[in-house]
Structure 1
Amino acid sequence: MWPTDTLAPTAPAPPLPPAPPVPPSLPPLLVASPVAVQRLAPAGQFGSPVPGPYLTSDEPAPTPLPPGTPAPAAPPRARTHAAPLPRRRRSSCAPATTFEAALTDLAADGSTGALHGPDGAVHLAGGLVVHAEAPDAATVGRLLTGAGRITARAWEDSLLPGAGRLAEYLLDSGLLGAGELELARLAATLDGAQPALAQHDGELRFDPDVRPVFRLARPLSVLELRGAIGRRRSLLDGCWPSAELDRAPLLATGAEPRGRTAVPRRRRQALLAAADGTRTAPELARLLGRSTYGTLLDVRQLAAAGLLAAPRPAAVPDPPPAAVPQAAPPDVLLPPGPRSYDSSDPEVGLLLRLRAALEAL
């Protein structure tokens, strides 16, 4: 052991340098907060160079409490009411008919099959439109033969059972090109979809096992189909706002046109020559080998120019009443039968009630 007096006094430890103040962390960005108005604090306000401004509140900092004093309860926060949501506007693409609503629901489910109605049907494949047909709409064969791209005999030969699939036969035999066939399929689809989408009454039936003979190479969504049909209806209403000529027999007036029309001369002459007062617009389209929509558009333009009209049927007078032969007087006079009474007469009704009351006694 060393003597006590030989031990050197221990030197005091040097004081530690003061720790630099920790810069406050940046508060998170407040969006739609109910606090007071925020302001931007410049950099370095809290004693250290903090790059960039940050959000601080205008409220004063709370006074520090002495140690051991319990913290006071926080005051209840004012309940803020959220801003009301904007009212939902009705979409312009909302289904307007029962058929459109049913077709939209089937397309949303990715269905495959045909939705049939009284005036037409639309075929779906995986929720996409591949074909449409209607009784008065043009078919692919009518459009091809009417345009002169294929003869009626060649079309009948392609329909034979040994011809296989119709579209592939037409392409493989060189009778048509792929673009021509697709154009005819698209025109037939739009022609059949116009009356089909307009169905609002009648029974609808969905058959998942039906497949069309022709189908589009590029299917359409239901929204695209409805947009195309809506534009077609707008064009028709712009030419002639009334649909009275779409189903009525048409007759050429023979008058001078009131203005220029966009109908070419050859189509105008053929249409006026076939309008004899007995054929409707779909029948004229079938006769001329054209689409029903194209014929309706020409009919409305010619009607606006005063070249076509729907003749009113002549009023047929009622036939004169036939002379009723007088019955011969009977040989034996019989007492008159019971008379019929008008129970709506108040006096007769009163007498009938009195008689019924007397008979009930």
Structure 2
Amino acid sequence: MLRRLVAEHATGALLRDSGTLYLADGQVVHAESLSAPGIDVLLTVSGRLRPESWQWAVDQAGPTGEVGRFLVDSGQVPGGELELCHLGALFDAAFFTLSPSSGPTRFRYGVAHWIGPVVPVPAHAVAREAARRRELLRRLWPHPEVDTAPVVRARNPSGAPVPGRRRALLALADGVRTPQDIARLLGRPAFHTLVDVRRLAAGGAIETPLATIPRPGMPAPVAQASAEAETVADIALLRRLRDGLEAAL
């Protein structure tokens, strides 16, 4: 459907279970997903913009669909900074929206987002980047369960040093918050948080959830969990050994 909409230079909203892509003349101009912090979170949590200033811009320019232009014209956010933040939010939300498991797709012609025009992106570039990000996560730690489960610190961490950026994530890992919750609290893109979570899981700093319901022909839950635990531990150990060897070379 996306290829067809691009070919016809469509304008409107492409809706999926996991998010929405907004098109203008066949290009992606914005994206939203419940799994990704919006541009408002990225700007306000970082301290770049006060929440009341954001709300003022939405109140003033939201009805005309020119919030982005209003932020720049009123001197609250430089144009280049807004573009960078907008692109970060767009690619972040598009990653989830274009997930292969995000359900049926619908398109509503003529729908525009209230942020207004900021930086249009070719749809093929958005789709290509979403695929690249999926592959990166798979290579980092091939256990997608960590992307949506509450982040739990490892009972017996490896003791390897954790960079400051990931220490901030670990500080919020209370066994209840998911990576998406933590991303919003930190004001970071959700995909970047998933990268950190998978790296922490690969390094043995956080737990990887284990499947407890066997598929037909699979071992019983206890045996399956034990086998998966051994596999996860072995992979984590090999990755730590590899990292140590690379650091010593």
- AA paired with 2:142? P
Say which of 96, 99, 121 aligns to 1:198.
99
Say which of 109, 112, 115 aligns to 1:211.
112
The answer to whether the Cα contact below 8 Å between 1:258 and 1:305 also exists between their aligned partners in 2 is no
**SS at the partner of 2:76?**
coil
Say which of 159, 184, 188 aligns to 2:85.
184
Q: Which structure is richer in relative contact order (CA contacts within 8 A, separation 6 or more)?
A: 2
Task: Give the drift of 1:201.
Answer: 6.0
**SS at the partner of 1:130?**
strand
- AA paired with 2:133? R
TM-score (norm. length: structure 1): 0.54
Please state which structure has a larger fraction of its residues in helix: 2
Say which of 150, 156, 169 aligns to 2:70.
169
**SS at the partner of 2:107?**
strand
Query: How high is the sequence identity, in percent, across the aligned residues?
Result: 39
Query: Structure 1 pair 257/173, CA: closer, same or farther in 2 (3 Å)?
Result: farther
Aligned residues: 210
The answer to whether the Cα contact below 8 Å between 2:154 and 2:206 also exists between their aligned partners in 1 is yes
1:233 corresponds in structure 2 to 134
Cα distance in 1 between the residues matched to 2:139 and 2:127: 18
Task: Give the drift of 1:254.
Answer: 5.7
Question: 1:267-346 counterparts in 2 under 5 A?
Answer: 267-310=165-208
Cα distance in 1 between the residues matched to 2:60 and 2:169: 36
Cα distance in 1 between the residues matched to 2:195 and 2:33: 18
Task: Give the drift of 1:312.
Answer: 6.7
User: Does the alignment pair 1:141 with 2:40?
Assistant: yes
Larger Rg belongs to: 1
- AA paired with 1:196? T
Query: Structure 1 pair 236/312, CA: closer, same or farther in 2 (3 Å)?
Result: closer
Query: Structure 1 pair 200/243, CA: closer, same or farther in 2 (3 Å)?
Result: closer
Task: Give the drift of 1:107.
Answer: 0.7
5+ long unaligned stretches in structure 2: 213-249
The answer to whether the Cα contact below 8 Å between 2:61 and 2:70 also exists between their aligned partners in 1 is no
**SS at the partner of 1:206?**
strand
Query: Structure 1 pair 119/231, CA: closer, same or farther in 2 (3 Å)?
Result: same
What's the RMSD between the two structures over aligned residues? 2.4
- AA paired with 2:53? A
The answer to whether the Cα contact below 8 Å between 1:118 and 1:203 also exists between their aligned partners in 2 is yes
Cα distance in 2 between the residues matched to 1:255 and 1:277: 15
Task: Give the drift of 1:178.
Answer: 0.8
Cα distance in 1 between the residues matched to 2:61 and 2:142: 48
Task: Give the drift of 1:205.
Answer: 1.9
